[in-house]
Each structure stands twice: as C-alpha cells, then as structure tokens.
Amino acid sequence: MICFRNSCFEVWLYYAYIDVIPNFPIPSDYLKISIKFKGWLPSVIRGGIKPEKAILFIYQNIENAKKNHKVDANGIPALFSTNMFELAEDLLPLIEPELTNMITENKRIEAEYRGRK
C-alpha cells in the first residue's frame, strides 16, 4: 500500500476487528487514500477504531494481517496489506505476561460495565 499519512497503521488496526481485505472504494487520487480510509472505517467498525486499545487485539491483528498479507514484485506490501505483524510477533514475547493481565482486566471491566446496564 502506498503509505501516505500513516495509512498502513490504520490497515493494521482494521485487522484487529475484521479478517478480510477491506471492501474500500479506492479514490482516483492516491494522495487521498489515507484520509478517505480513515473516514470509511467507522462505517464498517461500530464505534470506529480505538488505537489506545489496539494492544488488546494484538493476537487477532497478527492472525488477520498475516492471512491478508501480499507483496508486489519488489517485496512492498500490496494495497491493504501490512507487515506490522512481523514487529508484533517480535515484541510479543517481551510484553506477553503484562499483556495477558491487561486483557484479563479489560474483560473484567467490560463485564462489570455490561452488568450495570
């Protein structure tokens, strides 16, 4: 993907929620892909992407990004591909104990919140 204004990171975040390549209408002006993609995300992900919670979905991110990863002849990720999973896999062993605690705590907080509704 041509990465203007950090669009590759939004692709990475997208894969936390959805496991298929985005069905995103590509604008004719490639310079507008990033901004249009960011604007499109809340239409397919209820509530939009929450970057501050991205770490909680790292396992889904890795699985979904790997599943949809494609590169061109030069080894550059294709449109709506990201190789962020490589970095995530390298970091995972360093953060896993704390991450497991964070995920457990987040689930507890969500359950408590839903119990009040």
When pLDDT is cut at 50, 70 and 90, the band that residue 53 belongs to is confident
When pLDDT is cut at 50, 70 and 90, the band that residue 86 belongs to is very high
* Mean pLDDT of the 27-46 span: 89
- According to DSSP, residue 27 is labeled -
Nearest-CA neighbor of 2 among 61, 49, 72, 68? 72
Rounded Cα distance between 98 and 111, Å, is: 20
Instruction: List the beta bridge partners of residue 83.
Output: none
In the chain, beta strands by DSSP E: none
Q: Across the chain, what does the average pLDDT equal?
A: 88
- According to DSSP, residue 75 is labeled S
pTM reported for the whole predicted model: 0.82
**Rounded (10°) angle between helices 33-44 and 7-14:** 20
